[in-house]
């Protein structure tokens, strides 16, 4: 039987960043797909460049960004100041909603400000926030919650927000205190965790290729999936062979990894949404000066759209459109595409534009539902797996909400630990 010290599952950002950081080359990366990249793949069609979904990058660690750039040759990397809006019943306001309520119609503005003020200063303002939905009501008041935060997040997560933890979105949730909100009415400061972003001319895959350049191609096995793991004897079964391993580092979705090991776990606590992404290329330009727009209205199919053409400065409208589904929902791609095109027309994104190219992908899982039960069960089972030399990493191995930079940081820290 073949043997390897480190068996890595998945050639996405996490798996490749782990391989690139290992102290020895005694490793093998297994990838079920025919290509590397995971969710950071890029599709090129009829002159359009699209990702699996809008993937834009904001690095907090200059050393990581420099390491990537040094491996990207003469690839042009655009640095873009984000222009992001919300469509509130046909009226466009700046993102984030809670800091721009003064841009709403007057009565909506009064309702939002009034409810916000009394949510923050009322009798039960100090009461603990019990879940994500409760947090939205308590911090922002009924009107902000019901005009944007709740309908938008319900469309995205495709679940009852009361089942999610207060911190389900972690640092990605744009919090704002009362002072920020009032100050923003006169001096706009809509900076968020990603107020500028970088984007390679060749799409998100260019960052993946940069990481892969530090990995030996002969140590990546494409089109070969891990099927089961005998954790007691350290033997992995793939779709093609059995492999004796020293340790496993897996970026596969956690519930699937747990099932592959046969360890007892409560699989029902792990829930998630699916996102159907349409990439749509049209024959001519659409709106300018906008990168992405959020749509909270329940009668609009999509929750967000993004304009690649305004990032690339190109002359044909190139959109990604995201539609959220519950994990067990049946996704009818064709029917949804027709609804999306009708809704794009209705909300004024296209008029007589002609669709000249399109692509779609279902990201499943896309956003995991972070709940107290899933967090506790993940921690318990991941510790048991670690004790048996199986390490779960990445957005889906960690069952979390994170960026590709977080994936690289985590992979490097894990690999460094193996070197000690
Ligand atoms: C809608 C959406 C938008 C996003 N936007 C951004 C963004 O703008 N900026 C940003 O930084 N991040 C963004 N992200 C997050 C980013 O996509 C992830 O952090 C990153 O791609 C995760 O990489 P990964 O390697 O951990 O997992 P993945 O990309 O999921 O890779 C895992 C790999 O494992 C393989 N695999 C799974 N099971 C097996 C098996 N049994 N055997 C072998 N191989 C297997 C899969 O085929 C896959 O290639 C977004 C995510 C989503 C869902």
The closest-lying atom of ligand 1 relative to the alpha carbon of residue 366 is 53
User: Hey, whose CA ends up nearest to atom 10 of ligand 1?
Assistant: 403
| Helix segments in 271-371, DSSP class H | 308-312, 333-346
User: Which pLDDT tens digit goes with each residue over 194-250?
Assistant: 578 999 999 999 999 999 999 999 999 999 999 999 999 999 999 999 999 999 999
Q: Reply yes or no on whether the pLDDT at 192 is more than 60.
A: no
Is residue 64 in contact with ligand 1, taking CB distance under 6 Å? no
149 lines ligand 1 (CB under 6 A): no
Q: Residue 359's beta-bridge partner residues?
A: 279
What is the number of alpha carbons within 13 Å of residue 161 lying toward its C-beta? 22
Answer for the pair 394, 403: CB distance below 8 angstroms, yes or no: no
| CB-ligand 1 contact for 370 (6 Å cutoff) | no
Closest residue by Cα to residue 13 from 389, 416, 400, 395:
395
**How far does CA 246 lie from the centroid of its chain?**
31
CB-CB neighbours of 100 under 10 Å: 22
Output the CA–CA distances (angstroms, integers) from residue 121 to 127, 134, 161, 183, in the order listed.
Answer: 11, 16, 24, 18
Distance 13 CA to ligand 1 centre (A): 7
Look at residue 33 and tell me whether its pLDDT is greater than 80.
yes
pLDDT tens sequence across 369-384: 988 899 999 999 999 9
DSSP state of 349: S
The rounded mean pLDDT for the chain is 94
* Residue 193 pLDDT grade (very low, low, confident, very high; cuts 50, 70, 90): very low
Band (pLDDT 50/70/90 cuts) for residue 176 is confident
**Coil/strand/helix, residue 414:** helix
Mean pLDDT value across residues 111-137: 86
pTM: 0.94
The more confidently predicted of residues 128 and 397 is 397
- Given this model, what pLDDT does residue 190 score? 57
- Tell me how far apart the alpha carbons of residues 111 and 159 are, in angstroms, rounded to a whole number: 26
Contact between 410 and 393 under an 8 Å Cβ cutoff? The reply is yes
Probe target for ligand 1 pocket from 12, 220, 223, with the most ligand atoms within 8 Å of CB: 12
Q: Could you tell me the domains of the chain?
A: 2-38+59-76+202-269+370-419 (3.50.50.60), 97-184 (no CATH), 273-363 (3.90.660.50)
pLDDT at site 127:
78
> Measured from the CB, is residue 222 less than 6 Å from ligand 1?
no
- Taking alpha carbons only, the member of 204, 209, 144 closest to residue 174 is 144
Rounded Cα distance, 73 and 171, in Å = 32
| pLDDT value of residue 100 | 93
């Amino acid at each position: 039987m073949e043997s390897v010290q480190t068996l890595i599952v998945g050639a996405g950002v996490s798996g490749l960043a782990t391989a690139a950081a290992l102290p020895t080359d005694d490793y093998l990366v297994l990838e079920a797909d025919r290509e590397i990249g995971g969710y950071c793949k890029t599709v090129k069609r009829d002159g359009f460049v699209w990702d699996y979904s809008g993937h834009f990058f904001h690095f907090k660690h200059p050393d990581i960004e420099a390491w990537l750039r040094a491996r990207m040759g003469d690839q042009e990397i655009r640095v873009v100041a984000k222009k992001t809006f919300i469509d509130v019943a046909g009226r466009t306001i700046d993102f984030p909603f809670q800091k721009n309520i003064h841009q709403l119609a007057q009565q909506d503005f009064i309702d939002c400000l009034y409810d916000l003020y009394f949510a923050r200063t009322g009798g039960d303002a100090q009461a603990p926030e019990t879940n994500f939905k409760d947090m939205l009501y308590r911090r922002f008041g009924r009107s902000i919650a019901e005009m944007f935060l709740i309908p938008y997040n319900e469309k995205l997560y495709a679940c009852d927000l009361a089942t999610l933890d207060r911190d389900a979105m972690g640092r990605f949730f744009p919090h704002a205190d009362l002072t920020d909100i009032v100050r923003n009415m006169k001096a706009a400061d809509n900076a968020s965790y990603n107020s500028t972003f970088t984007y390679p001319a060749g799409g998100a895959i260019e960052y993946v290729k940069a990481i892969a350049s530090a990995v030996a191609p002969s140590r990546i096995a494409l089109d070969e999936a891990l099927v089961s793991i005998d954790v007691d004897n350290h033997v992995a079964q793939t779709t093609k062979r059995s492999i004796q391993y020293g340790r496993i580092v897996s970026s596969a979705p956690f519930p699937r990894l747990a099932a592959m090991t046969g360890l007892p776990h409560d699989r029902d606590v792990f829930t998630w949404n699916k996102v159907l992404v349409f990439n749509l290329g049209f024959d001519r330009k659409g709106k300018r000066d906008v990168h992405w727009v959020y749509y909270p209205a329940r009668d609009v199919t999509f929750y967000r759209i993004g304009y690649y053409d305004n990032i690339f400065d190109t002359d044909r409208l190139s959109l990604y459109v995201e539609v959220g589904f519950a994990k067990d929902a049946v996704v009818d791609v064709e029917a949804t595409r027709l609804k999306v095109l009708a809704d794009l027309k209705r909300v004024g994104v296209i008029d007589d534009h002609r669709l000249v190219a399109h692509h779609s992908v279902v990201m499943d899982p896309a956003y995991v539902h972070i709940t107290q039960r899933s967090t506790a069960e993940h921690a318990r089972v991941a510790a048991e797996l670690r004790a048996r030399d199986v390490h779960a990493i990445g957005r889906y191995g960690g069952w979390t909400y994170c960026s590709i930079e977080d994936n690289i940081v985590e992979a490097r820290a894990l690999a460094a630990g193996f070197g000690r």
